[in-house]
A and B are shown apart, each in its own frame.
Chain A
Amino acid sequence: VDGIADAGGRRELFGPLPPLDPDEPAFPAPWHGRAFALTLLANRTATASNLHALRHALERVPREHYLASYWGRWVRAAELVLAESGLLAPGAVDARIAGVDLPDPEPAPRANPGAAPGNLRHVTARPRHAVGTSVVAASAAVPGHTRLPAYARGRRGTVTAVLPAQVTPDVAAHFGGEAPQHVYAVAFASTELWGPGEEFTVTVDLLESYLAPA
């Protein structure tokens, strides 16, 4: 989906970088660790640990909450997957903070597309693109979940590696099954992405369905 989570190149997010702290612990505050554990546990029951569905929930967290705090964003995403699976009423956490318990809704069971662990899959069809060939990324915005960053849309790049085939996040996030396909590392020149200026490359890992020969 188009939104604040798709951060690459987005000028409105430009600003000073936080300091590097080599000694930063995994969880700087105690509630960070609890938010991490609770979100994974919530997602385990709500979606059978469908990571793509969790990422899609994260990118639908409203902008002000998304930007307010990283682990706060995880808690909001957990609330979303719990509500969408019928495990908690929408607004149950706000109600609890206010001292009110909402009745649980009817559970909304779904077919589980991520039952098999992991995301690497075997695909019998041969990869469509070879290392060294030119490809162009799809130019249309996608209403649901996708792993094609907006900054690469419609841009021409070069395949630098054929990566292991993987589950398609665009399908799995919406509980549509695994739909595995080939994945490619595609290098884009900075000038292709951003116009004249500093020269460098950005390599993005892209699904075969995002790409056409160029």
Chain B
Amino acid sequence: VSAERTAALEALLVERGLADEATIERFITTYETAVGPLNGARVVARAWTDPDYRARLLADGTAAIAELGFSGPQGEHMVVLESTPEVHHVVVCTLCSCYPWPVLGLPPSWYKDPAYRARVVREPRAVLAEWGTVVGDDVEVRVVDSSSEVRYLVLPERPASTAGLTEEELVPLVTRDAMVGVTRVVAP
């Protein structure tokens, strides 16, 4: 049904000169290829291996992320939240689907799901456990609701067993879900 509606809307917009195939393709290709969670993974891997960069990232997320070449819509002001053995951060947008596009791309289905948006601000430990992330009672859970134009990126804990890995080797271990805070990064 929605595919049919989209096609009908497209025909109406193209006929009126409000949309064209080349522009549509450019929007799609940008978020299918150039802008996605690999950008965020590069930020995290750099922070894990370069203490000066990590300090800059936590002090001014926007500037430190721009150092790696990432900026743009839905990333005007970036704040990086460091998760530790004592504090676990998890990000949501309860009002719509705000998400840090320049570092994570467009949000995955689960982030946009009404059940996630409804539940995580009310029973975060149950939500995390349902996805296999057990957070003990001794860990402080901080849920962050992206209700303004500030966008949040979680800096997950680096697994101790990755101590010998290089920045390039760490990049593929960093997942989108860990950078929103619903999972931890697991070592191979």
Mark contacts of A17-40 with chain B using CB atoms, 8 A cut-off: 1 yes-contact digit, 0 otherwise.
Answer: 111111011111101011111101
CB atoms of B145 and A204 under 8 A apart: yes
Q: Say whether A7 faces chain B, with CB atoms less than 8 Å apart.
A: yes
Q: Are A13 and B76 in contact, with the CB atoms below 8 A?
A: no
Q: Mark A87-118, 1 if CB is under 8 A from B, else 0.
A: 11000110011000000100000000000001
Known A24-B108, A55-B96, A67-B114; judge A31-B27 contact (CB<8 A): no
Chain B nearest Cβ from A43, distance in angstroms: 10
Tell me the complex Cα distance, A26–B96, Å. 17
Q: Mark A173-205, 1 if CB is under 8 A from B, else 0.
A: 000000000010101001001100010111111
Range of interface residues on chain B? 35 or more
Bitwise interface map of B from 134 to 151 toward A, beta carbon under 8 Å scored 1, else 0: 000000111111111110
Within 8 A of A (CB), among B122-179: 122-125, 127, 130-131, 140-150, 175-177
User: When each residue 133-176 of chain A gets 1 if its CB lies under 8 Å from chain B and 0 otherwise, what string results?
Assistant: 00000000000000111010000000001011011000000000
Chain B: which residue is nearest A187 at the CB level?
B142
B117–A41 CB distance below 8 A: no
- Interface of chain A: mostly helix, strand, loop or mixed: mixed
Name the residue of chain B whose CB is nearest to the CB of A164: B77
Known A13-B117, A22-B176, A41-B18; judge A147-B148 contact (CB<8 A): yes
Interface pairs (25), CB distance under 8 Å: A6-B94, A6-B95, A10-B114, A14-B119, A18-B110, A18-B115, A20-B108, A21-B108, A27-B28, A35-B2, A36-B27, A38-B10, A71-B6, A93-B9, A147-B95, A148-B147, A149-B94, A149-B95, A151-B121, A164-B77, A166-B148, A200-B125, A201-B143, A205-B147, A206-B148
